[in-house]
Amino acid sequence: MVRHLFLIRRPDHPSMEYTNPELPEGINTSKQNPLKEFAILTLGMVGVLFISLTLLILLVDYFADKIPFDWERSLPVTRFLDSKNSEKLPLYLEQVSQQVIQSLDLPESMTISVHYVNSDTVNAFATLGGHIVLYRGLLEKLGYEDELSMVIAHEVAHIKYRHPILSASHGVVTGLVLSFIGLSSGDGVVSDLLGSVGMATMIKYSRDYEYQADSDAVESLIRIYGHADGAMGLFNIFDSAKGDIGTVEFLSTHPLTKNRITQVGTMIEGRNILNKNDMIPLPQAFKDGLKQP
């Protein structure tokens, strides 16, 4: 409907006519469903970021591998650990560690320092410079020497494959890429999402490393004791300690315990190894020593 409202006549203008038509809807807006745009943009960004980060990480891994172990050892992390953990390593721990380290065929230049921290934390980790840290909280939960060897062998295997320096370089690369993207997007939510993608890429490697370390640790156990029950024993302890309920593997740095058990199961399957139930209990003196404040 077009209505002629009025005419304007001026001496210098022949005539001006004003009408007031109803404007058609949707000229200024897009008719596409926003969910479609959302799906394309999100999946596209996540995919591109994941692929490019993976490629970058592979590239960096190539160089990180070449960093001499001596150089890694001179990093400040050494001094930090020495000052923090003045606790003397119990003799028994020293002996078991030596036995495990020898069974793992480390390169000659690689030296391992085992630290013991008198704290309730249920954890053990390996870090730059060949340092392994064992917490009392975890050791207290162990019942057998086999399980202790499994813990140590797992951490030593991380060092053997240079996992700490690889992870550290992944962190640097991912952090750099994400900070650039974050700066250019200028939006907190988008940077958060992309940050999670970067995190997921990084911890995917972290999980691969866990499997790799598990596999070497199991080999080490078989070499020392003739069987790998210590691995299963340790995983059962993890299982009862926290369980995997409500955890999604792709969001965590460590594989689900049940997946680790499956992997170890496949490894020892078909291998001619000794029967169960001959694990060596931890000496009572060592266990008592742990409880001292």
Partner 1 sequence: MIDLIIFLILLALGYGFGRLAESRHYTSIREREKELNVIPAIASRIPPHGRPDFDIHLVTGSVVISIDYFKRFIAGLRNLLGGRISAYETLLDRARREALLRMKAEARDLGAEMVFNIKLETASIHKGRGGSIGSVEVLAYGTAFIPHQTS
Would you tell me which residues interact with partner 1 (CB under 8 A)?
A: 5-6, 8-10, 13, 16, 18, 20, 22, 25, 28-30, 32, 34-35, 37-38, 41-42, 44-45, 181, 184-190, 192-193, 196, 246-248, 251
Closest CB 106 distance from partner 1, rounded Å: 36
* Minimum distance from residue 171 beta carbon to partner 1 (Å): 19
Of 5 and 172, which has the nearer Cβ to partner 1? 5
The C-alpha atoms of residue 124 and residue 209 are separated, in whole angstroms, by 15
By C-beta, is 35 or 66 nearer to partner 1?
35
Q: Which is nearer to partner 1, 181 or 268 (CB)?
A: 181
Q: Which is nearer to partner 1, 137 or 182 (CB)?
A: 182
- Please report, as a single letter, which amino acid is at residue 266: T
Residues 6+ apart with CB under 8 A from 82: none
Least Å from the CB of residue 30 to partner 1: 4
Distance between CA 115 and CA 121 in Å, rounded? Answer: 14
**Residue closer to partner 1, measured from CB, 39 or 274:** 39
Nearer to partner 1, 7 or 88 (CB): 7
The structure tokens 């190539």 sit at 62
- The string of DSSP codes covering the chain is ---EEEEE--SSSS-EEEE-PPPPTTSSS--S-HHHHHHHHHHHHHHHHHHHHHHHHHHHHHHHTTS-HHHHHTSTHHHHHHHH--PPPPHHHHHHHHHHHHHTT--TT---EEEEE-SS---EEEETTTEEEEEHHHHHH--BHHHHHHHHHHHHHHHHTTHHHHHHHHHHHHHHHHHHHHHHH--HHHHHHHHHHHHHHHHHHHHHHHHHHHHHHHHHHHHHHSS-HHHHHHHHHHHHHT--TT--GGGSSS--HHHHHHHHHHHHTT-----SS-PPBPPHHHHHHHH--
Q: How far is the CB of 199 from partner 1 (least distance, A)?
A: 10
Nearer to partner 1, 158 or 207 (CB): 207
Q: How far is the CB of 170 from partner 1 (least distance, A)?
A: 21
32 vs 83, beta carbon nearer partner 1? 32
Nearest distance in Å: CB 73, partner 1: 36
How near is the Cβ of 33 to partner 1 at its closest, in Å? 10
Query: Which amino acid is residue 79, in one-letter code?
Result: R
Min separation Cβ 59 and partner 1, Å: 23
